[in-house]
Amino acid sequence: METKTATAIFESLSSGWRLEAFRLLVKKGPEGMVAGDIAAALDLAPSSLSFHLKALTHAGMVSVAQEGRFLRYRANLALMAELIAYLTEECCAGVPGQCAEVAGAKACIDKLAC
Amino acid sequence: METKTATAIFESLSSGWRLEAFRLLVKKGPEGMVAGDIAAALDLAPSSLSFHLKALTHAGMVSVAQEGRFLRYRANLALMAELIAYLTEECCAGVPGQCAEVAGAKACIDKLAC
DNA sequence: AAATTGCTTCAATACTTGTTGAAGTATTGT
DNA sequence: ACAATACTTCAACAAGTATTGAAGCAATTT
């Protein structure tokens, strides 16, 4: 992954609305959610949500599919996985066990849900 | 993890300089790096690096320790692990196998280095 | 003690981002 | 055709962020 791609993703997750929207979509998985349901769940003005969903879409973190007059959004879990891999790349220079020396870091994998 | 904490972290990683600095520190692990070495590695003006390291420190993603007139920075791997756990929480509603249905998402754990 | 080194802080400027409400577009229902 | 629904886009304003160079402070060297 390129630095520019990663910073664009982090920027897209740096707003509370966008992070909450993305986490909602992660939980929904392949089912996704239509824009109106996301707006209702977050209690956010439609125009504001649209602004934030566009930012997430532009960063590639969510995809959109039209369904009649609804727009269904889905989290891009593959990109999320790539991002995590990028962030943790060559952690502790790849020296086995060195990460475990750092308090709590060992719990990294255990806490992952997918 | 609270939303506010997570957005502060993502914001701190949304600049190319900060992301590269953090990734350098992840690779160094417990050894860390002194500010001057980071500046040299990134070819960045000291005042600008200081600004960015302060942002990372404020978000909790790096810690600082004084060593004579040097300041040694270290990545907070435990917080990184917490962030990943937060982002992937209840992925696909916790339904086993559903993540695997999404192209590539299965590779999530495999790609993690720590 | 004076100079040097390593890093930070400050102030000014330029740029970017978020919110609001109104207007616009496309799909569906009557 | 007309109205309603679902969502987006636009423009204006407020607020936050990044860069620069100069000045500051503390630890070390001479």
- Residue percentage of chain B with pLDDT more than 70: 83
Nearest-angstrom CA–CA distance, A36 and A39: 5
Q: Is A101 left (phi over 0), alpha (psi -120 to 50) or beta?
A: alpha
Structure tokens belonging to residue B6: 């997570």
Give A55-69 pLDDT, tens digit per residue: 999 999 999 999 999
Least confident of A35-39, A97-101, B3-7, B47-51: A97-101
- Say whether A14 and B15 touch across the interface (CB within 8 A): no
Residue B114: what pLDDT?
43
- Say whether A89 and B26 touch across the interface (CB within 8 A): yes
Give B64-113 pLDDT, tens digit per residue: 999 999 999 999 999 998 999 899 888 887 776 676 666 454 444 444 43
Residue linked to tokens 């109106």: A36
pLDDT higher than threshold 60 for residue A9: yes
Q: Indicate yes or no: strand D within 7 A of the C-beta of A25.
A: no
Residue B25: what pLDDT?
94
| DSSP secondary structure letter of residue B105 | T
Residue A102: what pLDDT?
61
State the Cα angle at A15 between A35 and A19, rounded to 5°.
Answer: 55
Distance of CA A34 to the CA centre of its chain: 17
Least confident of A63-67, A88-92, B39-43: A88-92
- Say whether B90 and A84 touch across the interface (CB within 8 A): no
pTM of model > 0.95:
no
Residue B95: what pLDDT?
73
Distance from CA(B52) to C1'(D18), angstroms, rounded: 10
Nearest-angstrom CA–CA distance, B7 and B83: 10
Q: Side chain identity at B105, as an amino acid letter? A: A
Structural element, H or E, at residue A77: helix A77-87
Distance from CA(A89) to C1'(D23), angstroms, rounded: 39
Interface subset of B 40-69, CB within 8 angstroms of A: none
Q: Indicate yes or no: strand C within 7 A of the C-beta of A4.
A: no
Residue B90: what pLDDT?
83
Q: Dihedrals φ, ψ of B75, to 5°?
A: -70, 145
Nearest-angstrom CA–CA distance, A82 and A78: 6
Supply the mean pLDDT for chain B.
86
For every residue of B21-75, DSSP letters joined together read HHHHHHHHGGG-EEHHHHHHHHT--HHHHHHHHHHHHHHTSEEEEEETTEEEEEE
Distance from CA(B43) to C1'(D9), angstroms, rounded: 41
Q: Indicate yes or no: strand C within 7 A of the C-beta of B49.
A: yes
Closest to A56 measured CA to CA, from A20, A9, A23, A24: A9
pLDDT higher than threshold 50 for residue A37: yes
| DSSP secondary structure letter of residue A17 | H
Supply the mean pLDDT for chain A.
86
Q: Indicate yes or no: strand D within 7 A of the C-beta of B86.
A: no
